[in-house]
Copies of this chain bind each other. A is one copy, B any other.
Amino acid sequence: MNQSSTNAIRPLPDDLAERIDLAAQVFADNGLDATRIEHLAKATGIPRATLYYYFPGKEHILAHLLSRTLRQMTVKLSAAAAEPGTGRERLTRLVREHLVFIGSHGPTYRLLFAELGRAASLVDIAAGVDLAIMAPIREALRDGQRDGSLRVDDIGAATSIVYGAVLITGMQHLLIGSDRQLEDRAAALLDVILSGIGTTPKPRRSR
């Protein structure tokens, strides 16, 4: 996940770096395999030969896009996690920011998700996901545990659950569309995660 070094074969000039982002839509629409390099060339305005000059192949272009997105995500989420507050407050912010990010990076995020299942290819993507997404959650949970704002028996399990909940909620938002606002979904999600759905001794705050 270190810069573009693993993806682009040589430093990518700024003007190309901008235009290559247009490839995300193409990948998202067709999937990795059905995407023709020629099509990427047309969509980005970068000639085929130039693409091959900078990237060994199309999957490296995809990897470039994904790791760029992951880096942005790391920045956004770790910023959200770094702000002061209890673990619980930070977790809340994280979930919100994460959903917002999904909402604003639809195509790329879909790709990221699709690639997550692959074991072999694009390995460091998995590492990047852990760094960008899981780590901040884990951190917030741990701190919430310490400062008493959260009750977490099993941090590993809870991390997976939080991530899973955000992921599926986000995907639903992307695929099914925004009949409901993200804010709304985030609130409902947090309510479930914080309060659980078991019958509770006492009424809890609902949104």
Contacts and interface: CB of A to CB of B under 8 A. Distances in A.
Contacts of A49: none
Nearest to A30: B120
- Copy tally for this chain in the complex stands at 2
Contacts of A192: 153-154, 157-158, 161, 193, 196
Chief secondary structure at chain A's binding surface:
helix
A25 to B, nearest CB: 12
Interface stretch (A13-21, A63-71, A163-171): A163-171
Contacts of A113: 116-117
A111 B118 CA distance: 8
Interface in A135-155: 141, 144, 148-154
Given A117-B113, A150-B199, A33 B30 contact: no
Contacts of A33: 31-33
B31 A152 contact: no
Interface stretch (A4-12, A40-48, A75-83, A183-191): A183-191
Given A118-B31, A121-B31, A196-B195, A168 B160 contact: yes
A93 to B, nearest CB: 15
Contacts of A185: 157
A122 to B, nearest CB: 10
A202 B201 contact: yes
